[in-house]
Amino acid sequence: MSGKIITADGLYTLNRETVFNYERMDAQKGVYRIKKTHFRILSRDTLPARYNNNIDMNTESRSSDYMIIRKINKNTLLFSSPAAPAMICVTE
């Protein structure tokens, strides 16, 4: 995950690797639910820890959140959600 976050306190850089696990909701439609995420904070990240809960994708307590995952090629996935912008995930 990378980008800029604007808060009342200022402008921050978001620069993290994200590891997550998920469960299949509807494989034919590509609907999955991300259950737990873990961020590895990279050196350019300046977001204070107090905002971490605002950007996590953990759904252990929010059963209605889901992602649509589409495979673009053998190591690239497109993630989209009704409540969030699209994300591209490139696997190793």
Tens digits of residue pLDDT in 3-60: 888 889 999 999 988 887 878 878 787 777 777 778 899 999 999 988 877 776 666 6
The Cα–Cα gap between 74 and 11 comes to: 35
**Structural contact between residues 66 and 24, judged by C-beta atoms closer than 8 angstroms:** no
Residues constituting the chain: 92
Choose among 25, 16, 13, 14: nearest CA to 89: 16
* pLDDT at site 82: 65
